[in-house]
Amino acid sequence: MSSESLLARFANRFDTPDLRVAPTSTLSASVLRVEVLAGLTVALALVPEAVAFAFVAGVGPLVGLYAAFIVGLVTALIGGRPGMISGATGALAVVMVSLVAAHPPGVGLQYLLLTVVLMGLIQIFVGIMRWGKFIRLVPHPVMLGFVNGLAIVIGKSQIDFFKTAEGAWMAPGQLVLVLALVALTMVVIWGMPKLTMAIPAPLAGIGVTAAVVLIFGLPVPNVGDLASISGGLPQFALPDVPLNLETLQIIAPYALILAAIGLIESLLTLNLVGEITGQRGGASQECIAQGAANTVTGFFGGMGGCAMIGQSMINVKSGGRTRISGIAAALFLLLFILVASPLIEQIPLAALVGVMFMVVIGTFAWNSLKILLKVPKIDAAVIILVTIVTVLTDLAIAVVVGVIVSALAYAWQNATRIHAKSHVTPEGAKVYAIQGPLFFGSATGFVEMFDPENDPALVIVDFADSRVADQSALQAIEAVAAKYEAAGKSIQLRHLTRDCHKLLTKAGHLMVDSDDDPDYAVAANYGVRTGILGGH
């Protein structure tokens, strides 16, 4: 696979210039206009998402909107990747609901706010310890499965907007009308870049669909049908719960889970946006930014949040490449809450659903379908597995499962590589030239390669093309030496690297330096009387 990312290749193929990889432009009037309009587009898309996720968590709509504003603003200011958008997310909301529901009305929210504060502190600690770098251990097939699964989840989450408040499908006539408006929004978003780049395509789609609905007075659901978004400035307040050990025991498990999910989603989104915008690094900084944002939002009545891949893709697609677009999105959202709620509540949900469906199309790694038959079978299986687990559970579990399966597959592949080429020297010693890594997965195969009963009195084990990796490998060497000792024969180890020598010495094994190995400077001789351990 070439170094060009699948997402970037997809964007280029379908001629969407606003998604193509490009370096961040210098700040100018035109760039500033694009960034602000991108922020406005994101803010409009954030409103129904924040309200819906607040309902999922069992709290009021303003709790979700405040979280979207504060988390979005703080991460835009100090986050690790300009262009990323953060806010209240469904992945966190589904964990929060059980904490909120376990307490009386109002009390559950206070426990949630303190949990969000602790969640933020944990994330700050992770950032200070620079543990965010471990996101690089996520294999590319896991990343593809995550992207595809999340695209499906985003698409599924839009289905609820085609239902009534009672959960039933809309009447056939209204459903057809709403679908037509969704299609209109998508067509405008698809066609606008071909006409002009002056206005972000998603914003144009929302504007055209909203105008059609208002001009013709079409009876379709709008943002105001979800809930009122009117409110005041978020107020600072300490969570009204007792600060004692019992409270800590209640909130700590939730805080740990939320912190892990939030960081995994944020760091994967960081990588995804980085592939599109050509940026690298910033993982630890993003951890600290997410932690600071959640700590602050917990004290200001917000439900906490993390990076949002859907809104981040909207921002990038709309031309947002700097911190300005994220800051603008947060400020526009606050403006909606304070003064513009009557106007925003008139926006048809069909327009926002159309935007999110285009996000689904742009997020799904379509080329991954083509490469399923070309990549190794285990990689194809991981892509499919992570996609399914993401849809059925959540992305944190999916990523962990994908990493574990990939690691086990890698270990198995290396375990089967161990083998030896043997020959007998003119002096009558038998040489086993080990090839392949010696570690826990290959230790058994290593032991089975030797024939102590039929081998000559002196056996040489040459590790020039191998590597001793762990304690299981040391134990395997000991087992082989013990068998030759029991048979009254000697064994000699050669070409052990310096780090292997350190492992053997640290483990308490008797090592003998030798001059017969100038490249490695270390060799080991074990006779009948010494064995491999000093105690033998």
**C-beta neighbour count of 336 within 10 angstroms:** 23
**pLDDT value of residue 508:** 52
User: Cα-flanking dihedrals φ and ψ of residue 128, to 5°?
Assistant: -65, -40
Q: Which of 426, 414, 420, 335 is nearest to 378 (CA)?
A: 414
**In the beta sheet, which residues pair with residue 169?**
163
Extract the tokens encoding 433.
Answer: 């030239």
Residue at 163: amino acid letter: K
Which of 455, 466, 401, 449 lies closest to 425 in space, CA to CA?
Answer: 455
Q: How far apart are CA 297 and CA 75, in angstroms?
A: 12
> What pairs with residue 422 in β-bridges?
432
pTM of the full structure: 0.73
In this predicted structure, what is the pLDDT of residue 507?
A: 54
From CA 333, how far away is CA 525, in angstroms rounded? 73
Measure the CA dihedral 286/290/296/300, to 10°: 140
What are the average pLDDT values for consecutive 10-residue runs of the chain, which has 536 residues? 40 36 60 93 90 86 95 96 91 88 92 97 96 86 87 86 87 95 95 85 92 95 89 94 95 94 90 81 93 97 93 89 95 95 92 88 86 90 93 84 92 87 92 92 92 92 87 87 89 78 57 42 40 35
| Beta carbons of 8 and 289 less than 8 angstroms apart | no
Distance CA 363, CA 357 (A): 10
Helix (H, G, I), strand (E, B) or coil at 121: helix
Q: Give the type of residue at 342.
A: P
User: Coil, helix or strand for 290?
Assistant: helix
Contacts 24+ apart (CB under 8 A), 236-240: 236/299, 236/300, 237/299, 237/300, 237/301, 238/299, 239/110, 239/111, 239/113, 239/114, 239/117, 239/298, 239/299, 240/110
pLDDT value of position 151: 86
What are the structure tokens assigned to 417, written together?
């590589």
pLDDT for position 506: 61
Please identify, in words, the CATH class of the domain defined by 419-526. Answer: alpha beta
- Nearest in space to 118 (alpha carbons), one of 297, 242, 251: 251
Q: Please report where in the chains the tokens 């007998």 appear, as a residue.
A: 424
> Domain residues of the chain, as ranges?
29-407, 419-526
Q: Is 431 strand, coil or helix? A: strand
Strands 86-87 and 306-307: antiparallel
